[in-house]
Structure 1
Amino acid sequence: MVNIRSLDPSASPLDYYGSELRRLREEAGLSQTQLGKIVFCTGSLVGQIETAHKVPTREFSERIDAALMTGGLFTRLVGLVLRSQLPSWFQEYAEMEAQAAYISTYQSQMVYGLLQTEAYARAVLATGLPDKLEELLAARLERQRILEKVRPPMVWVIIDEAALHRPIGSPQIMRAQLAHLLSFREARWTRIQILPFKAGEHASLIGSFNFLRFDSDPDIVYTEDVIAGHMTANPDTVREAALRYAHLQASALSVEDSAELIMRVMEEHYGNPAEHEQPGVA
Protein backbone atom coordinates (compact mmCIF):
# COMPACT_ATOMS: atom_id res chain seq x y z
CA MET A 1 0.00 0.00 0.00
CA VAL A 2 1.32 3.45 -0.92
CA ASN A 3 2.56 5.47 2.04
CA ILE A 4 0.77 8.83 2.06
CA ARG A 5 2.24 10.17 5.28
CA SER A 6 1.78 13.93 5.47
CA LEU A 7 5.02 15.89 5.57
CA ASP A 8 5.81 19.34 6.87
CA PRO A 9 8.21 20.70 4.20
CA SER A 10 9.66 23.16 6.70
CA ALA A 11 10.54 20.48 9.26
CA SER A 12 13.90 19.55 7.75
CA PRO A 13 15.77 19.45 4.42
CA LEU A 14 14.85 15.77 4.16
CA ASP A 15 11.14 16.51 4.62
CA TYR A 16 11.30 19.29 2.02
CA TYR A 17 13.06 16.98 -0.44
CA GLY A 18 10.40 14.30 0.09
CA SER A 19 7.48 16.67 -0.28
CA GLU A 20 8.89 18.15 -3.49
CA LEU A 21 9.55 14.69 -4.90
CA ARG A 22 5.96 13.66 -4.22
CA ARG A 23 4.54 16.90 -5.63
CA LEU A 24 6.51 16.76 -8.86
CA ARG A 25 5.94 13.02 -9.33
CA GLU A 26 2.20 13.49 -8.98
CA GLU A 27 2.26 16.47 -11.37
CA ALA A 28 3.96 14.19 -13.89
CA GLY A 29 1.14 11.63 -13.44
CA LEU A 30 3.47 8.89 -12.29
CA SER A 31 3.03 6.35 -9.53
CA GLN A 32 5.91 5.54 -7.19
CA THR A 33 6.39 2.25 -9.01
CA GLN A 34 6.42 3.91 -12.42
CA LEU A 35 8.96 6.50 -11.36
CA GLY A 36 11.04 3.80 -9.70
CA LYS A 37 11.26 1.89 -12.98
CA ILE A 38 12.40 5.00 -14.82
CA VAL A 39 15.22 5.71 -12.34
CA PHE A 40 16.13 2.04 -11.82
CA CYS A 41 14.94 1.54 -8.26
CA THR A 42 11.88 0.16 -6.50
CA GLY A 43 8.66 2.06 -5.96
CA SER A 44 9.13 1.29 -2.28
CA LEU A 45 12.39 3.26 -2.22
CA VAL A 46 10.69 6.22 -3.90
CA GLY A 47 7.98 6.03 -1.23
CA GLN A 48 10.49 5.88 1.61
CA ILE A 49 12.25 8.98 0.31
CA GLU A 50 8.96 10.81 -0.22
CA THR A 51 8.03 10.15 3.41
CA ALA A 52 11.48 11.09 4.77
CA HIS A 53 12.18 7.55 5.93
CA LYS A 54 15.17 7.17 3.61
CA VAL A 55 17.94 9.60 2.71
CA PRO A 56 18.40 10.06 -1.06
CA THR A 57 21.77 9.64 -2.69
CA ARG A 58 23.31 12.03 -5.19
CA GLU A 59 22.96 9.42 -7.95
CA PHE A 60 19.24 9.00 -7.18
CA SER A 61 18.81 12.79 -7.25
CA GLU A 62 20.50 13.13 -10.62
CA ARG A 63 18.26 10.41 -12.09
CA ILE A 64 15.14 12.03 -10.64
CA ASP A 65 16.12 15.38 -12.15
CA ALA A 66 16.51 13.73 -15.54
CA ALA A 67 13.25 11.77 -15.25
CA LEU A 68 11.10 14.67 -14.06
CA MET A 69 13.04 17.37 -15.98
CA THR A 70 13.39 19.54 -12.88
CA GLY A 71 16.39 21.57 -14.03
CA GLY A 72 18.70 20.09 -11.40
CA LEU A 73 16.45 20.84 -8.41
CA PHE A 74 17.10 17.60 -6.54
CA THR A 75 20.80 17.55 -7.35
CA ARG A 76 21.04 20.95 -5.67
CA LEU A 77 18.89 19.90 -2.72
CA VAL A 78 20.69 16.65 -1.96
CA GLY A 79 23.80 18.40 -0.67
CA LEU A 80 21.71 20.20 1.94
CA VAL A 81 19.90 16.97 2.81
CA LEU A 82 23.12 15.01 3.28
CA ARG A 83 24.71 17.76 5.35
CA SER A 84 21.69 17.66 7.65
CA GLN A 85 22.55 14.03 8.45
CA LEU A 86 25.79 15.08 10.14
CA PRO A 87 25.77 15.37 13.94
CA SER A 88 24.14 18.66 14.91
CA TRP A 89 27.35 19.88 16.57
CA PHE A 90 29.30 19.28 13.35
CA GLN A 91 26.92 20.89 10.85
CA GLU A 92 28.07 24.46 11.47
CA TYR A 93 31.69 23.45 10.95
CA ALA A 94 30.82 21.62 7.71
CA GLU A 95 29.15 24.80 6.42
CA MET A 96 32.21 26.88 7.27
CA GLU A 97 34.53 24.26 5.76
CA ALA A 98 32.62 24.47 2.48
CA GLN A 99 33.16 28.25 2.39
CA ALA A 100 36.83 28.30 3.39
CA ALA A 101 39.49 29.52 0.99
CA TYR A 102 42.27 27.71 2.86
CA ILE A 103 42.03 24.60 5.03
CA SER A 104 44.97 23.36 7.03
CA THR A 105 44.78 20.40 9.37
CA TYR A 106 46.94 18.24 11.58
CA GLN A 107 45.65 14.69 12.09
CA SER A 108 47.27 12.56 14.76
CA GLN A 109 45.16 9.40 14.60
CA MET A 110 43.74 8.92 11.13
CA VAL A 111 43.50 10.28 7.60
CA TYR A 112 41.68 13.59 7.27
CA GLY A 113 37.97 13.19 6.44
CA LEU A 114 38.19 15.06 3.12
CA LEU A 115 40.84 12.60 1.92
CA GLN A 116 39.26 9.34 3.11
CA THR A 117 38.16 6.62 0.72
CA GLU A 118 34.63 5.33 1.08
CA ALA A 119 35.73 2.04 2.64
CA TYR A 120 38.13 3.72 5.08
CA ALA A 121 35.48 6.28 6.05
CA ARG A 122 32.93 3.53 6.68
CA ALA A 123 35.34 1.71 8.98
CA VAL A 124 36.14 4.90 10.88
CA LEU A 125 32.51 5.94 11.29
CA ALA A 126 31.49 2.44 12.39
CA THR A 127 33.66 2.77 15.50
CA GLY A 128 31.08 5.21 16.89
CA LEU A 129 28.33 2.56 16.55
CA PRO A 130 25.97 5.02 14.81
CA ASP A 131 22.32 4.21 14.15
CA LYS A 132 22.57 5.54 10.59
CA LEU A 133 25.99 4.54 9.34
CA GLU A 134 25.19 4.77 5.63
CA GLU A 135 23.67 8.23 6.03
CA LEU A 136 26.75 9.48 7.90
CA LEU A 137 28.98 7.93 5.26
CA ALA A 138 27.05 9.63 2.45
CA ALA A 139 27.35 12.94 4.30
CA ARG A 140 31.12 12.54 4.69
CA LEU A 141 31.56 11.74 1.01
CA GLU A 142 29.40 14.75 0.16
CA ARG A 143 31.78 16.97 2.14
CA GLN A 144 34.60 15.86 -0.13
CA ARG A 145 32.90 17.49 -3.13
CA ILE A 146 34.44 20.83 -2.14
CA LEU A 147 37.71 19.48 -3.56
CA GLU A 148 36.03 19.17 -6.97
CA LYS A 149 34.83 22.76 -7.21
CA VAL A 150 36.00 24.95 -10.09
CA ARG A 151 37.87 26.98 -7.49
CA PRO A 152 38.54 24.56 -4.61
CA PRO A 153 40.07 25.62 -1.31
CA MET A 154 43.78 25.25 -0.78
CA VAL A 155 44.07 22.21 1.49
CA TRP A 156 47.26 21.54 3.43
CA VAL A 157 47.24 18.31 5.43
CA ILE A 158 49.78 17.10 7.97
CA ILE A 159 49.23 13.49 9.02
CA ASP A 160 51.10 11.80 11.84
CA GLU A 161 52.99 8.73 10.65
CA ALA A 162 51.02 6.70 13.20
CA ALA A 163 47.92 7.06 11.02
CA LEU A 164 49.71 5.26 8.18
CA HIS A 165 50.53 2.28 10.37
CA ARG A 166 47.19 2.00 12.15
CA PRO A 167 45.28 -0.76 10.25
CA ILE A 168 41.74 0.52 9.91
CA GLY A 169 39.29 -1.82 8.25
CA SER A 170 41.58 -4.32 6.53
CA PRO A 171 44.91 -4.45 4.68
CA GLN A 172 43.06 -3.96 1.39
CA ILE A 173 41.28 -0.89 2.72
CA MET A 174 44.51 0.57 4.05
CA ARG A 175 46.38 -0.04 0.81
CA ALA A 176 43.62 1.65 -1.17
CA GLN A 177 43.58 4.56 1.29
CA LEU A 178 47.31 5.14 1.06
CA ALA A 179 47.15 4.87 -2.73
CA HIS A 180 44.42 7.51 -2.62
CA LEU A 181 46.71 9.82 -0.65
CA LEU A 182 49.40 9.33 -3.27
CA SER A 183 46.93 10.35 -5.99
CA PHE A 184 46.94 13.89 -4.58
CA ARG A 185 50.54 14.36 -5.73
CA GLU A 186 49.08 15.67 -8.98
CA ALA A 187 46.45 17.86 -7.31
CA ARG A 188 47.23 21.55 -7.64
CA TRP A 189 45.31 22.65 -4.55
CA THR A 190 46.09 19.85 -2.08
CA ARG A 191 49.36 19.16 -0.29
CA ILE A 192 50.10 16.31 2.11
CA GLN A 193 52.97 16.11 4.58
CA ILE A 194 53.75 13.31 7.00
CA LEU A 195 54.99 14.07 10.51
CA PRO A 196 57.45 11.18 11.04
CA PHE A 197 58.03 9.30 14.25
CA LYS A 198 61.61 10.58 14.27
CA ALA A 199 60.28 14.11 14.83
CA GLY A 200 59.80 13.10 18.45
CA GLU A 201 57.97 15.60 20.62
CA HIS A 202 56.22 18.24 18.52
CA ALA A 203 53.97 21.31 18.64
CA SER A 204 50.66 19.45 18.81
CA LEU A 205 51.10 16.48 21.10
CA ILE A 206 47.79 17.58 22.58
CA GLY A 207 45.97 16.36 19.46
CA SER A 208 44.44 17.14 16.06
CA PHE A 209 43.05 20.46 14.93
CA ASN A 210 41.77 22.23 11.82
CA PHE A 211 42.46 25.79 10.76
CA LEU A 212 40.09 27.57 8.33
CA ARG A 213 40.85 30.81 6.51
CA PHE A 214 38.38 32.84 4.48
CA ASP A 215 38.57 35.56 1.86
CA SER A 216 36.80 38.12 4.04
CA ASP A 217 35.85 36.50 7.37
CA PRO A 218 37.95 35.88 10.51
CA ASP A 219 40.06 32.72 10.71
CA ILE A 220 38.60 29.80 12.67
CA VAL A 221 40.20 27.02 14.69
CA TYR A 222 38.29 23.75 15.12
CA THR A 223 39.01 20.98 17.62
CA GLU A 224 37.10 17.91 18.82
CA ASP A 225 36.79 16.03 22.08
CA VAL A 226 35.04 12.73 22.72
CA ILE A 227 31.63 14.41 22.85
CA ALA A 228 31.56 17.24 20.32
CA GLY A 229 33.48 19.74 18.22
CA HIS A 230 34.43 23.31 19.08
CA MET A 231 35.03 26.32 16.83
CA THR A 232 36.55 29.61 17.84
CA ALA A 233 37.63 32.82 16.13
CA ASN A 234 39.33 34.14 19.27
CA PRO A 235 42.41 36.02 17.97
CA ASP A 236 44.72 34.64 20.66
CA THR A 237 43.65 31.06 19.98
CA VAL A 238 43.94 31.54 16.22
CA ARG A 239 47.42 33.02 16.62
CA GLU A 240 48.51 30.14 18.84
CA ALA A 241 47.14 27.58 16.36
CA ALA A 242 48.91 29.29 13.45
CA LEU A 243 52.19 29.22 15.35
CA ARG A 244 51.78 25.54 16.23
CA TYR A 245 50.93 24.69 12.63
CA ALA A 246 54.02 26.49 11.36
CA HIS A 247 56.14 24.40 13.74
CA LEU A 248 54.42 21.22 12.56
CA GLN A 249 55.13 22.08 8.92
CA ALA A 250 58.78 22.66 9.79
CA SER A 251 59.00 19.28 11.59
CA ALA A 252 57.16 17.32 8.89
CA LEU A 253 58.75 15.69 5.86
CA SER A 254 58.63 17.57 2.57
CA VAL A 255 55.71 16.80 0.26
CA GLU A 256 57.99 14.66 -1.92
CA ASP A 257 59.56 12.76 1.00
CA SER A 258 56.11 12.30 2.52
CA ALA A 259 54.91 10.60 -0.67
CA GLU A 260 57.92 8.28 -0.54
CA LEU A 261 57.12 7.34 3.07
CA ILE A 262 53.48 6.68 2.22
CA MET A 263 54.59 4.45 -0.65
CA ARG A 264 57.05 2.57 1.56
CA VAL A 265 54.48 1.94 4.31
CA MET A 266 51.92 0.85 1.73
CA GLU A 267 54.28 -1.72 0.23
CA GLU A 268 55.91 -2.94 3.44
CA HIS A 269 52.82 -3.10 5.67
CA TYR A 270 49.93 -3.71 3.31
CA GLY A 271 51.71 -5.59 0.53
CA ASN A 272 50.34 -6.53 -2.85
CA PRO A 273 46.52 -6.65 -3.00
CA ALA A 274 46.71 -10.25 -4.21
CA GLU A 275 48.42 -11.27 -0.97
CA HIS A 276 45.27 -10.42 0.99
CA GLU A 277 42.73 -12.09 -1.28
CA GLN A 278 40.97 -15.14 0.12
CA PRO A 279 41.53 -18.37 -1.85
CA GLY A 280 38.62 -19.56 -3.93
CA VAL A 281 36.42 -22.43 -2.77
CA ALA A 282 36.01 -25.26 -5.27
Structure 2
Amino acid sequence: MPAKRRPEELPDPKQNMWDLIAVILRYQRNQRGLSGDAMGRIIGASKSTVSRLETGDDRMDSKQAAAIDKAWDTGKLYTLLVWYAAIGHDPQWFAQYVRFEQRSEHLRIYEESVVPGLFQTEDYTRALLLAGTQLDPDMVLAERMERQGLLSRNHASHATIIVSQNALEWPIGSPEIMRSQLAHLLEMAALPNVIFRVVPRSWSVGAHQGLNGAFQLLSGDDFGEVVYTEAAGAGRLVSAPSEVRGYGVRYERISAKALDEGASADLIRRLMEDCK
Protein backbone atom coordinates (compact mmCIF):
# COMPACT_ATOMS: atom_id res chain seq x y z
CA MET A 1 0.00 0.00 0.00
CA PRO A 2 1.52 3.37 -0.98
CA ALA A 3 2.45 5.78 1.79
CA LYS A 4 -0.09 8.46 2.53
CA ARG A 5 0.94 11.80 1.10
CA ARG A 6 1.57 14.84 3.23
CA PRO A 7 -0.71 17.85 2.57
CA GLU A 8 2.07 19.77 0.85
CA GLU A 9 2.54 16.85 -1.58
CA LEU A 10 -1.09 16.83 -2.73
CA PRO A 11 -2.25 18.68 -5.87
CA ASP A 12 -2.87 22.38 -5.31
CA PRO A 13 -5.70 23.64 -7.55
CA LYS A 14 -4.33 27.18 -7.28
CA GLN A 15 -1.03 26.14 -8.84
CA ASN A 16 -2.10 25.00 -12.30
CA MET A 17 -4.96 23.55 -14.35
CA TRP A 18 -3.66 19.97 -14.13
CA ASP A 19 -3.78 20.04 -10.33
CA LEU A 20 -7.29 21.50 -10.56
CA ILE A 21 -8.36 18.56 -12.74
CA ALA A 22 -6.83 16.11 -10.25
CA VAL A 23 -8.71 17.67 -7.32
CA ILE A 24 -12.04 17.79 -9.19
CA LEU A 25 -11.68 14.17 -10.30
CA ARG A 26 -11.03 12.92 -6.79
CA TYR A 27 -13.86 15.00 -5.34
CA GLN A 28 -16.43 13.89 -7.90
CA ARG A 29 -15.37 10.25 -7.74
CA ASN A 30 -15.78 10.23 -3.95
CA GLN A 31 -19.07 12.14 -4.24
CA ARG A 32 -20.38 9.30 -6.41
CA GLY A 33 -19.06 6.64 -4.05
CA LEU A 34 -16.87 5.06 -6.71
CA SER A 35 -13.79 3.02 -5.95
CA GLY A 36 -10.54 3.38 -7.85
CA ASP A 37 -11.31 0.15 -9.70
CA ALA A 38 -14.76 1.42 -10.72
CA MET A 39 -13.26 4.70 -11.90
CA GLY A 40 -10.67 2.75 -13.86
CA ARG A 41 -13.39 0.86 -15.70
CA ILE A 42 -14.91 4.17 -16.81
CA ILE A 43 -11.68 5.47 -18.32
CA GLY A 44 -10.32 2.09 -19.42
CA ALA A 45 -7.35 2.13 -17.05
CA SER A 46 -6.05 0.50 -13.90
CA LYS A 47 -6.71 1.55 -10.32
CA SER A 48 -3.09 2.69 -10.05
CA THR A 49 -3.56 4.97 -13.06
CA VAL A 50 -6.59 6.55 -11.40
CA SER A 51 -4.51 7.12 -8.28
CA ARG A 52 -1.74 8.81 -10.29
CA LEU A 53 -4.30 11.04 -12.01
CA GLU A 54 -5.68 12.12 -8.65
CA THR A 55 -2.25 12.81 -7.14
CA GLY A 56 -1.05 14.73 -10.18
CA ASP A 57 1.66 12.21 -11.06
CA ASP A 58 -0.10 11.58 -14.39
CA ARG A 59 -2.12 13.90 -16.58
CA MET A 60 -5.53 13.06 -17.94
CA ASP A 61 -5.69 12.70 -21.72
CA SER A 62 -8.53 13.64 -24.05
CA LYS A 63 -9.88 10.07 -24.34
CA GLN A 64 -10.09 9.67 -20.58
CA ALA A 65 -11.77 13.06 -20.29
CA ALA A 66 -14.34 12.16 -22.96
CA ALA A 67 -15.10 8.85 -21.21
CA ILE A 68 -15.80 10.64 -17.92
CA ASP A 69 -17.94 13.27 -19.63
CA LYS A 70 -20.03 10.53 -21.24
CA ALA A 71 -20.38 8.43 -18.09
CA TRP A 72 -21.25 11.36 -15.83
CA ASP A 73 -23.05 13.56 -18.37
CA THR A 74 -20.91 16.58 -17.47
CA GLY A 75 -21.53 18.69 -20.56
CA LYS A 76 -17.92 18.11 -21.69
CA LEU A 77 -16.48 19.62 -18.51
CA TYR A 78 -13.43 17.35 -18.39
CA THR A 79 -12.78 17.63 -22.12
CA LEU A 80 -12.71 21.40 -21.82
CA LEU A 81 -10.53 21.36 -18.68
CA VAL A 82 -7.98 19.10 -20.37
CA TRP A 83 -8.03 21.25 -23.51
CA TYR A 84 -7.35 24.45 -21.55
CA ALA A 85 -4.69 22.76 -19.44
CA ALA A 86 -2.91 21.45 -22.55
CA ILE A 87 -2.70 24.81 -24.31
CA GLY A 88 -2.01 26.99 -21.30
CA HIS A 89 1.20 27.97 -19.52
CA ASP A 90 1.82 25.84 -16.44
CA PRO A 91 3.62 27.83 -13.71
CA GLN A 92 4.88 24.52 -12.31
CA TRP A 93 6.10 23.28 -15.70
CA PHE A 94 9.71 22.69 -14.71
CA ALA A 95 8.94 20.71 -11.56
CA GLN A 96 6.56 18.57 -13.60
CA TYR A 97 9.18 18.11 -16.30
CA VAL A 98 11.87 16.98 -13.83
CA ARG A 99 9.52 14.37 -12.39
CA PHE A 100 8.92 12.89 -15.83
CA GLU A 101 12.61 13.14 -16.76
CA GLN A 102 13.73 11.18 -13.71
CA ARG A 103 11.13 8.47 -14.38
CA SER A 104 11.94 8.24 -18.08
CA GLU A 105 13.35 5.11 -19.65
CA HIS A 106 14.00 6.75 -23.01
CA LEU A 107 14.66 10.40 -23.76
CA ARG A 108 14.71 11.83 -27.26
CA ILE A 109 16.12 15.35 -27.19
CA TYR A 110 16.52 17.93 -29.91
CA GLU A 111 18.36 21.16 -29.12
CA GLU A 112 19.06 24.00 -31.52
CA SER A 113 20.81 26.74 -29.53
CA VAL A 114 22.78 25.34 -26.56
CA VAL A 115 24.13 22.01 -25.36
CA PRO A 116 21.30 20.04 -23.66
CA GLY A 117 21.29 20.41 -19.87
CA LEU A 118 21.94 16.74 -19.18
CA PHE A 119 25.20 16.99 -21.17
CA GLN A 120 26.53 20.32 -19.89
CA THR A 121 29.74 20.67 -17.91
CA GLU A 122 29.63 22.62 -14.68
CA ASP A 123 31.62 25.54 -16.15
CA TYR A 124 29.41 25.71 -19.26
CA THR A 125 26.24 25.70 -17.15
CA ARG A 126 27.61 28.37 -14.82
CA ALA A 127 28.46 30.63 -17.77
CA LEU A 128 24.92 30.25 -19.14
CA LEU A 129 23.30 30.95 -15.77
CA LEU A 130 25.42 34.03 -15.07
CA ALA A 131 24.31 35.46 -18.41
CA GLY A 132 20.65 34.90 -17.54
CA THR A 133 18.19 36.15 -14.94
CA GLN A 134 18.27 33.30 -12.41
CA LEU A 135 17.84 34.60 -8.87
CA ASP A 136 19.86 31.70 -7.41
CA PRO A 137 22.22 30.38 -10.11
CA ASP A 138 24.18 28.24 -7.63
CA MET A 139 21.04 26.32 -6.68
CA VAL A 140 20.06 25.80 -10.33
CA LEU A 141 23.60 24.66 -11.14
CA ALA A 142 23.58 22.09 -8.32
CA GLU A 143 20.16 20.79 -9.36
CA ARG A 144 21.21 20.45 -13.01
CA MET A 145 24.37 18.54 -12.11
CA GLU A 146 22.33 16.22 -9.88
CA ARG A 147 19.83 15.51 -12.66
CA GLN A 148 22.61 14.26 -14.90
CA GLY A 149 22.89 11.17 -12.72
CA LEU A 150 20.01 9.52 -14.55
CA LEU A 151 22.37 8.71 -17.44
CA SER A 152 24.90 6.89 -15.26
CA ARG A 153 22.78 5.28 -12.53
CA ASN A 154 21.87 1.60 -12.38
CA HIS A 155 19.27 0.91 -15.07
CA ALA A 156 20.21 4.25 -16.64
CA SER A 157 17.84 5.94 -19.04
CA HIS A 158 18.53 5.56 -22.75
CA ALA A 159 19.07 8.93 -24.44
CA THR A 160 18.97 9.77 -28.14
CA ILE A 161 20.30 13.29 -28.64
CA ILE A 162 20.24 15.43 -31.77
CA VAL A 163 21.76 18.91 -31.68
CA SER A 164 22.19 21.61 -34.25
CA GLN A 165 25.76 22.51 -35.18
CA ASN A 166 24.84 26.02 -34.04
CA ALA A 167 24.48 24.75 -30.46
CA LEU A 168 28.05 23.43 -30.54
CA GLU A 169 29.61 26.54 -32.06
CA TRP A 170 28.01 29.33 -30.08
CA PRO A 171 30.76 30.67 -27.79
CA ILE A 172 29.88 30.21 -24.12
CA GLY A 173 32.22 31.28 -21.33
CA SER A 174 35.66 31.01 -22.93
CA PRO A 175 37.52 28.91 -25.52
CA GLU A 176 38.75 26.67 -22.70
CA ILE A 177 35.22 26.14 -21.40
CA MET A 178 33.97 25.31 -24.91
CA ARG A 179 36.79 22.84 -25.60
CA SER A 180 36.10 21.11 -22.31
CA GLN A 181 32.37 21.04 -23.09
CA LEU A 182 32.93 19.49 -26.51
CA ALA A 183 35.33 16.92 -25.04
CA HIS A 184 32.66 16.06 -22.47
CA LEU A 185 30.15 15.47 -25.27
CA LEU A 186 32.52 12.96 -26.87
CA GLU A 187 32.81 11.14 -23.53
CA MET A 188 29.03 11.07 -23.08
CA ALA A 189 28.48 9.94 -26.66
CA ALA A 190 30.65 6.89 -25.93
CA LEU A 191 28.25 5.65 -23.23
CA PRO A 192 26.32 2.53 -24.27
CA ASN A 193 22.98 4.13 -23.42
CA VAL A 194 23.60 7.36 -25.40
CA ILE A 195 23.26 8.12 -29.11
CA PHE A 196 24.57 11.58 -29.99
CA ARG A 197 24.16 13.07 -33.46
CA VAL A 198 24.59 16.51 -35.00
CA VAL A 199 22.56 18.30 -37.67
CA PRO A 200 25.26 20.03 -39.74
CA ARG A 201 24.90 23.62 -40.90
CA SER A 202 25.13 23.07 -44.64
CA TRP A 203 23.34 23.82 -47.91
CA SER A 204 22.52 20.13 -48.29
CA VAL A 205 20.52 20.28 -45.03
CA GLY A 206 19.10 23.77 -45.49
CA ALA A 207 15.82 24.59 -43.77
CA HIS A 208 14.48 21.78 -41.59
CA GLN A 209 11.87 21.23 -38.88
CA GLY A 210 14.40 21.65 -36.10
CA LEU A 211 14.54 25.38 -36.81
CA ASN A 212 11.11 25.67 -35.17
CA GLY A 213 12.59 25.12 -31.71
CA ALA A 214 13.90 22.64 -29.17
CA PHE A 215 11.81 19.86 -27.64
CA GLN A 216 12.12 16.58 -25.77
CA LEU A 217 10.11 13.36 -25.89
CA LEU A 218 10.09 11.42 -22.62
CA SER A 219 8.91 7.80 -22.40
CA GLY A 220 8.31 5.57 -19.38
CA ASP A 221 6.22 2.52 -18.51
CA ASP A 222 4.38 4.29 -15.71
CA PHE A 223 3.35 7.41 -17.65
CA GLY A 224 3.52 6.56 -21.36
CA GLU A 225 4.98 9.41 -23.39
CA VAL A 226 4.98 13.17 -22.99
CA VAL A 227 6.66 16.03 -24.83
CA TYR A 228 8.35 19.04 -23.32
CA THR A 229 8.69 22.19 -25.40
CA GLU A 230 10.36 25.36 -24.23
CA ALA A 231 10.43 29.08 -24.85
CA ALA A 232 12.13 31.98 -23.13
CA GLY A 233 11.20 31.80 -19.45
CA ALA A 234 8.48 29.23 -19.98
CA GLY A 235 7.80 25.65 -20.90
CA ARG A 236 4.94 23.36 -21.79
CA LEU A 237 4.29 19.66 -21.29
CA VAL A 238 2.25 17.95 -24.00
CA SER A 239 0.48 14.71 -23.16
CA ALA A 240 -2.31 14.45 -25.76
CA PRO A 241 -1.45 11.34 -27.84
CA SER A 242 -2.16 13.04 -31.17
CA GLU A 243 0.21 15.91 -30.36
CA VAL A 244 2.87 13.55 -29.01
CA ARG A 245 2.75 11.56 -32.24
CA GLY A 246 3.21 14.77 -34.19
CA TYR A 247 6.38 15.56 -32.27
CA GLY A 248 7.56 12.00 -32.87
CA VAL A 249 7.23 12.53 -36.62
CA ARG A 250 9.03 15.86 -36.33
CA TYR A 251 11.89 14.19 -34.45
CA GLU A 252 12.24 11.55 -37.16
CA ARG A 253 12.37 14.23 -39.85
CA ILE A 254 15.13 16.07 -37.97
CA SER A 255 16.95 12.77 -37.45
CA ALA A 256 16.94 12.21 -41.22
CA LYS A 257 19.00 15.42 -41.59
CA ALA A 258 21.56 14.51 -38.92
CA LEU A 259 25.00 12.99 -39.40
CA ASP A 260 25.58 9.45 -38.16
CA GLU A 261 27.34 8.93 -34.82
CA GLY A 262 30.83 8.62 -36.29
CA ALA A 263 30.56 11.68 -38.52
CA SER A 264 29.02 13.63 -35.62
CA ALA A 265 32.01 12.80 -33.41
CA ASP A 266 34.37 13.86 -36.18
CA LEU A 267 32.59 17.21 -36.47
CA ILE A 268 32.85 17.76 -32.72
CA ARG A 269 36.60 17.10 -32.86
CA ARG A 270 37.00 19.65 -35.66
CA LEU A 271 35.06 22.21 -33.64
CA MET A 272 37.36 21.57 -30.67
CA GLU A 273 40.33 22.48 -32.85
CA ASP A 274 38.63 25.75 -33.77
CA CYS A 275 38.14 26.85 -30.16
CA LYS A 276 40.71 29.64 -29.96
> If the TM-score is normalised by the length of the shorter chain, which range does it land in?
0.5 to 0.7
1:230 matched residue in structure 2: 236
Q: Does 1:191 align with 2:195?
A: yes
From 103, 106, 109, the equivalent of 1:105 is 109
What is the identity, as a one-letter code, of the residue corresponding to 2:196? Answer: I
1:171 Cα deviation from its structure 2 partner:
0.5
1:89 matched residue in structure 2: 93
From 237, 243, 249, the equivalent of 2:249 is 243
Within 2, Cα distance between the matches of 1:167 and 1:10?
46
Secondary structure of the 1:136 match is helix
1:10 Cα deviation from its structure 2 partner:
8.4
From 139, 157, 171, the equivalent of 2:143 is 139
Spell out, residue by residue over 1:40-76, the C-alpha distance to the aligned partner (whole angstroms, 9 max, x if none).
Answer: xxxxxxxxxxxxxxxxxxxxxxxxxxxxxxxxxxxxx
Within 1, Cα distance between the matches of 2:172 and 2:272?
13
1:227 Cα deviation from its structure 2 partner:
2.8
From 159, 164, 171, the equivalent of 1:160 is 164
What is the identity, as a one-letter code, of the residue corresponding to 1:163? Answer: A
From 251, 258, 261, the equivalent of 1:252 is 258
1:140 Cα deviation from its structure 2 partner:
0.6
1:164 Cα deviation from its structure 2 partner:
1.3
1:63 matched residue in structure 2: none
1:127 Cα deviation from its structure 2 partner:
2.3
From 149, 171, 176, the equivalent of 2:175 is 171
1:191 Cα deviation from its structure 2 partner:
1.1
Report the TM-score, using the length of structure 1 for normalisation: 0.64
Within 1, Cα distance between the matches of 2:220 and 2:92?
23
Within 1, Cα distance between the matches of 2:219 and 2:136?
31
The percent of aligned pairs where both chains have the same amino acid is 37
Secondary structure of the 2:110 match is strand
What is the identity, as a one-letter code, of the residue corresponding to 1:191? Answer: I
Within 1, Cα distance between the matches of 2:137 and 2:219?
30
Secondary structure of the 2:213 match is coil
1:261 Cα deviation from its structure 2 partner:
0.1
Spell out, residue by residue over 1:157-187, the C-alpha distance to the aligned partner (whole angstroms, 9 max, x if none).
Answer: 1010001110001101000000000112320
Greater relative CO, 1 or 2 (CA 8 Å, sep 6+): 2
Within 1, Cα distance between the matches of 2:7 and 2:240?
34
Within 1, Cα distance between the matches of 2:267 and 2:211?
21
RMSD: 1.8
Within 2, Cα distance between the matches of 1:174 and 1:96?
29
Q: Does 1:270 align with 2:269?
A: no
Q: Does 1:203 align with 2:205?
A: no
Secondary structure of the 2:123 match is helix
Within 2, Cα distance between the matches of 1:180 and 1:161?
16
- Call closer, same or farther: CA 1:161–1:100 in 2, change over 3 Å: same
What is the identity, as a one-letter code, of the residue corresponding to 2:255? Answer: Q
Secondary structure of the 1:191 match is strand
From 218, 242, 249, the equivalent of 1:212 is 218
Within 1, Cα distance between the matches of 2:146 and 2:155?
17
What is the identity, as a one-letter code, of the residue corresponding to 2:259? Answer: L
Structure 2: gaps (5+ residues): 1-5, 10-90
Q: Does 1:130 align with 2:140?
A: no
Contact 2:93 2:237 in 1 (8 A): no
Secondary structure of the 1:146 match is helix
Contact 2:199 2:259 in 1 (8 A): yes
